[in-house]
Amino acid sequence: MRPILQVALDEINLTRAVAIAKEAIEGGADYIEAGTPLIKSEGMNAIRTLKDELKGHVIVADMKTMDTGAIEVEMAAKAGAGIISVLGASHDSTIEDAIRSARKYGVRLMVDLINIEDPVSRAVRLQELGADIIGVHVGVDQQMVGQDPLDVLSSIRRSVNIPIAVAGGLDAGSAAAAAALGADIVIVGGNIIRSKDVTGSARLIRESIDKKAAVSGKIRKSLDEETREIFMQVSTPNISDAMHRQPAMRDIKPLYEGIKMVGKAVTVQTFAGDWAKPVEASDVAGPGEVIVIYNGSNYVSPWGELASRGCQQKGIEGVVIDGAIRDVDDIRKIKFPSFASASVPNAGEPKGMGEINVEIMCGGFKVRPGDWIIGDDNGVVVVPQERAYEIARRAMEVKKSEDRVRAEIERGKTLAQVVDLYKWEKKT
Ligand SMILES: O=C(CO)[C@H](O)[C@H](O)COP(=O)(O)O
């Protein structure tokens, strides 16, 4: 039997969720899941509405129940769900009572292994308890720090013989790999529901699942390479949103339009106009790095075109100056990504005060050597190195959501209508 494609509606607006579900069905989705955020936002009404609107399709209630298993299964079953999820991390008594309730109401119970330390032995135990489906699942937040549900799928497949569902950031390639590794149900959320073309994305994933492409021996790029690649694709507003709306470096502006800069910081602490350490930093920095300078004066410059040329030849990504820059016309001509808080014609003197690669303040932000610096036409943001991969992944999720909202606006809605603004204003 060909694997089932289940589309997870991780959405908070029911009207949008129904529209997205219909588009996904057109592309080949079999089961439609009321995602946990949708259930929390709209309650059992979400299940009832999906059941009414999507005749002939199994509706899955992703309840993620942790306690009172029987009551929650009863509620979702009565609303029209055919499969209901409980968490594998719950006590066995919760699972057993949920199973009794599932049997009584003629629905299947999916037990979700999200965040379980030893998923293989828990899966074996859940099979003994009578679970109908094992959910191998890496949650959205776990995906952002690099976890992958396919890492444990084969071992679980070898250990249980009941159906297995797999979820966790799957796309066309990993969905096909999941099917090839023995998944019976392939669950896809973000990569379908946040796509500009939901039907096209669902179709692509449906086709690749059907081909069950052999698991490629894909060599994973280094975390730094992946991080850089993602930062190149997202904007500084996407990154700011991903960091709970963190502001950009204050008063630091791009030198020209169409600028894009991504790199790790080589920092310079210097003093008004002293250009020795800034220019020496171009000998320290290399490809993939950005020189970030605190100079402390908007009236005398520690940097200009000649320093920029030297950096460009070495593959240094750009420069950010809390202070003044000069030769802006020439720097614009060679398009060396540069950001500064002022421009002046006058240079200072090379006195040699200050230090390279120490913690500095730039545009009101602490910057340490190795922190990620991303600049574009909107400004410059700093991402702490420890969270760079996670923030890059979260920024990509922001971008995907915006792509979907943009597609809905292009079909004639306003932003307020698409995001249901009035309903979601903060109540005081
Ligand atoms: O249950 C979920 C999150 O807890 C999601 O529905 C599931 O992970 C599928 O979505 P995605 O493909 O975006 O990971």
Question: Does ligand 1 lie within 6 Å of residue 113's CB atom?
Answer: no
What does the alpha-carbon distance between residue 221 and residue 363 come to, in Å, rounded to a whole number?
32
Are 159 and 307 part of one and the same domain? Answer: no
Whether the ipTM is more than 0.90: the answer is yes
Are 143 and 249 part of one and the same domain? Answer: no
Are 237 and 202 part of one and the same domain? Answer: no
Residues 349-361: tens digit of each pLDDT: 999 999 999 999 9
Residue 399 lies in a domain: no
Residue 403 lies in a domain: no
Question: pTM of the prediction?
Answer: 0.90
What distances in angstroms separate CA 202 from CA 23, 149, 182, 344, one per listed residue? 8, 20, 20, 54
The protein residue with its alpha carbon nearest to ligand 1, atom 2, reads: 139
Domain end residue (candidates: 218, 251, 280)? 218
Are 157 and 266 part of one and the same domain? Answer: no
Are 106 and 207 part of one and the same domain? Answer: yes
Closest to 126 in 3D by CA, of 165, 169, 154? 165
Are 104 and 252 part of one and the same domain? Answer: no
Distance 139 CA to ligand 1 centre (A): 6
Q: Provide the residue range defining the domain that includes 342.
A: 228-389
Torsion angle, alpha carbons of 274, 278, 283, 287, to 10: -170
Domain end residue (candidates: 218, 242, 276)? 218
Calculate what percentage of the chain has a pLDDT beyond 70: 98
Residues 297-317: tens digit of each pLDDT: 999 999 999 999 999 999 999
Are 293 and 371 part of one and the same domain? Answer: yes
Contact present, 179 and 3 (Cβ < 8 Å): yes
Residues 230-247: tens digit of each pLDDT: 999 999 999 999 999 999
Contact present, 289 and 319 (Cβ < 8 Å): no
Are 160 and 271 part of one and the same domain? Answer: no
Are 254 and 340 part of one and the same domain? Answer: yes
**Residue 294: φ, ψ to 5°:** -100, 115
Q: What is the mean pLDDT of the chain?
A: 96
Closest to 320 in 3D by CA, of 347, 345, 302? 302
Residues 87-127: tens digit of each pLDDT: 999 999 999 999 999 999 999 999 999 999 999 999 999 99
pLDDT band per the 50, 70, 90 thresholds, residue 423: confident
Question: Does ligand 1 lie within 6 Å of residue 397's CB atom?
Answer: no
Tokens of 54: 């999507």
CATH number where 306 lies: 3.50.30.40
Closest to 120 in 3D by CA, of 161, 87, 151, 159? 159
Residues 381-392: tens digit of each pLDDT: 999 999 999 999
Residue 348 lies in a domain: yes
The protein residue with its alpha carbon nearest to ligand 1, atom 9, reads: 189
Residue 132 lies in a domain: yes
Task: Indicate the pairing of strand 355-356 with strand 260-269.
Answer: antiparallel
Residue 408 lies in a domain: no
Ligand 1 pocket check: which of 111, 143, 187, 193 to mutate, most ligand atoms within 8 Å of Cβ?
187
Residues 362-383: tens digit of each pLDDT: 999 999 999 999 999 999 999 9
Calculate what percentage of the chain has a pLDDT beyond 90: 94
Distance 165 CA to ligand 1 centre (A): 12
What is the reported pLDDT for 218? 58
Domain end residue (candidates: 165, 196, 218)? 218
Closest to 255 in 3D by CA, of 318, 332, 166, 143? 332
- Within its chain, how far is the Cα of 26 from the centroid? 26
Contact present, 336 and 264 (Cβ < 8 Å): no
Residue 420 lies in a domain: no
Number of domains present in the structure of the chain? 2
CATH number where 116 lies: 3.20.20.70
What distances in angstroms separate CA 113 from CA 10, 152, 177, one per listed residue? 18, 11, 19
Mean pLDDT for the stretch of residues 178-185: 96
Residue 358 lies in a domain: yes
**Residue 215: φ, ψ to 5°:** -65, 115
